[in-house]
Amino acid sequence: MKNILTINRSLIIITIVIGLISSALNVYAGTTLLKFFVKSQKELLWVFALVLCAWTLAIFSTFVYERLKNKSLSKSRINIKNQLTIDIYRNNYVDFSSKDTGFYISKYTNDVSQMIESGISQVFDLFLNGATVLFTIIVMYYYHKIIAFTAIILFFIVYFGSKIFNKSLKMRMKEFSNQNSIYQQKIVELINGFLLFKNYDQGKEFVGAQEYASDHLEESFLNYSNFRVLSSSWISWVNLLSQLILLFISALMAVRGEISYGVLIVISNIGGMFFSALIGTINSVIEINISHVYFESLTNNRLEENFADYIDFKKLQMESISYSYSDSPLLENINICINACDKVGLKGESGSGKSTLLKIILGLQNDFEGSYILNGERLNPKDTLIMFENSSYVGQNTYLFNESLLDNIVKFAPSDLESQEIEEVLEKLNMYDFVTSLDNGLNTEIKENGKNISGGQTQKIALARAILSGRKILIIDEATSALDEYNKNIVEDYLLNLKDKTIIFVSHKFSDKTIKSFDKIIEL
């Protein structure tokens, strides 16, 4: 939390200062009328004007404070999401893929909301309520120091009495957060399976799957909420008892003549403000403590630009590569040699380990046994990601940006890319008819993840993007699976005749013509 607050420290400091002024004005305005004993109509009008002025300033300062607070929270929300995105981006492939989609959705929705509402927002409330507690104690001291000291003692009694439940509340909130992540994933799975449920007319199962996941989430939420009610009730009772003690002592002093009954009225009024702010302070402390469940996973990492170590690829040797999954051997003693500009086919049935081998080649999977030698240098498995950073990877499932067709194609291309290079690639991939059929041609906007174009054209766009990226190594992982036979032959023939590219082509089956174009075949 400290790191997020530091980013906008100037705005936050100004907001807190305005909050302190607002608190002081509200306390002053709340006691102004009680200071005066009006003896004439003129004095009454003067006091009325003074009270009106005090409350106007108090309300205006609160208005300014709330506006600044909202702005601070908005900026903090953006900063939290940015930091969360950086943390996700800095994950390695294994760590990233170990979490499901629901986990990340929950991070951006529930976790961010809790960080703001239970964390950042409560910091402002803590200062505001804490200041009110302080100012009301000062007012009490002004009237009688015994009353002020009594209020201070009661403050510590109520505050430390509330800490009994903190640890248990934090534990229950953590459990609720975990259940929320699980629920988010179940919903993602449910939406992804919509067509299957619809196809077999399984409406009851569709609704039941959500209900089952929701029941577990609500059980966890109910457990947390009920304990929170118990905590709040305890704090309220201790607070009520403390108010009665303060009022009793003040009344006793009035009976004894140590203070006037007018002062007793002031203490009664100011005591209400004191204990209200005290409860607010305690609740803020509890909320901030709970928010640590969410903030503890947020780092202070920064995004490193141009992190990739670009190389002049000459040769990759992999010797005696072995990999086991759940203690079951998947790859055993695999030996590979790939030279610059080689066209390599990686072939195998489903479950043969070709996807795993490809991840090892790219450095995405580094928990393997064997030797990885790049350009004559034997690399530590943790350093093999350099291969991925120097490759353009095109998979079966392609990500497209909600931008124009042209922007999608040249997204990662060098700045000096010429238009004839784009035209040549589009022609070789047999995309001209598709482009001309669009009302706005290359300026046509691609909808979310390519919803307005076919799967085959989506794959062609991804291939064009990879070719124009300028990288010399292309990894084609089942990236022509959505093409018809005619287009598939055209695309594969073009790719395998790119003289300046090293290509690793992955498929469970190659045509006889394609096989003849490879320099080597790796079959699993």
454-477 pLDDT, tens digit each: 889 999 999 999 999 989 999 999
Query: In 3-state terms, what secondary structure has residue 396?
Result: coil
pLDDT digits (tens, 9 = 90+) for 238-290: 888 888 999 999 999 989 988 888 788 888 888 888 998 998 998 898 888 88
pLDDT of 40 reads 67
Handedness of CA 142, 145, 150, 153 (dihedral sign): positive
CA distance 47 to 81: 51
Radius of gyration of the chain, Cα coordinates, nearest whole angstrom = 34
Q: Looking up tokens 């045509």, which residue turns up?
A: 511
CA distance 118 to 472: 49
Tell me the sheet residues that pair with 345.
505, 521
Find the helix or strand (DSSP H, E) in which 504 lies: strand 502-507
One digit per residue, pLDDT tens: the chain, 524 residues? 888 888 888 999 999 999 999 998 888 876 765 555 556 677 677 777 877 888 888 899 999 999 999 999 999 999 999 898 888 888 877 788 888 787 888 888 888 998 999 899 999 999 999 999 999 999 888 888 999 999 999 888 888 887 787 788 888 888 888 888 888 888 888 887 777 777 667 888 888 888 888 888 888 889 888 988 888 888 888 888 888 999 999 999 989 988 888 788 888 888 888 998 998 998 898 888 888 888 888 877 776 655 556 788 999 999 999 999 877 888 999 999 999 999 999 998 888 888 889 999 999 888 899 999 999 999 998 889 889 889 999 988 888 888 899 999 998 899 888 999 999 999 999 998 899 998 899 999 988 778 888 889 999 999 999 999 989 999 999 888 888 999 999 999 999 999 999 999 998 888 888 888 999 999 88
Q: Give Cα separations from 313 to 341, 432, 470, 499 (angstroms).
A: 9, 33, 13, 14
CA distance 374 to 338: 10
Q: Give Cα separations from 436 to 60, 365, 427, 454 (angstroms).
A: 61, 42, 12, 15
Query: In 3-state terms, what secondary structure has residue 470?
Result: coil
CA distance 337 to 490: 27
Q: Taking a C-beta distance cutoff of 8 angstroms, is the pair 456, 484 a contact?
A: yes
Within 10 A of 393 (CB to CB), how many other CB atoms are there?
Answer: 18
- CA 93 to mean position of chain CA atoms: 18
Domains 2-295 and 315-523 alike in fold: no
Q: What CATH number was assigned to the domain covering residues 2-295?
A: 1.20.1560.10
pLDDT of 96 reads 83
CATH value of 315-523 in 3.30.1300.10, 3.30.10.20, 3.40.50.2300, 3.40.50.300 = 3.40.50.300
CA distance 522 to 505: 10
**How is the chain split into domains, by residue range?**
2-295, 315-523
- 439 class by beta-carbon count within 10 Å (0-12 exposed, 13-18 middle, 19+ buried): exposed
Length of the chain in terms of residues written? 524
Query: In 3-state terms, what secondary structure has residue 104?
Result: helix
